[in-house]
């Protein structure tokens, strides 16, 4: 039997802003990774795998200390 838990978040305004910024950063990162995969396949017929993209995250975080690295 599966059980699920629900938690009600009641963030402060400051926390809500931080959560919103985090969500936006991750949305942009996901969309950029998806576009990278699509473009690579469309132009070169190459499949970019998850492991390849996750390996690049270290460099992305280093280049964006106020965004993905926070």
Question: Looking at residue 24, what is its pLDDT?
Answer: 92
Question: Looking at residue 57, what is its pLDDT?
Answer: 84
For residues 17 and 52, what is the distance between their CA atoms, to the nearest angstrom?
31
The residue among 33, 7, 11 whose CA lies nearest residue 20 is: 11
Those residues of the chain that have pLDDT short of 70 are 68-70
Distance separating the N- and C-terminal Cα atoms of the chain: 38
Burial 44-58 (b: 16+ CB within 10 A, else e): eeeebeeeebeeeee
């Amino acid at each position: 039997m599966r059980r699920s838990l629900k938690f009600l978040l009641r963030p402060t305004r400051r926390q809500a802003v931080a959560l919103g910024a985090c969500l936006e950063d991750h949305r942009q990162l996901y969309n950029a990774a998806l576009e990278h995969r699509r473009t690579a396949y469309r132009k070169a017929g190459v499949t970019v795998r998850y492991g390849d993209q996750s390996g690049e995250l270290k460099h992305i975080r280093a280049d964006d200390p106020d965004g993905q690295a926070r």
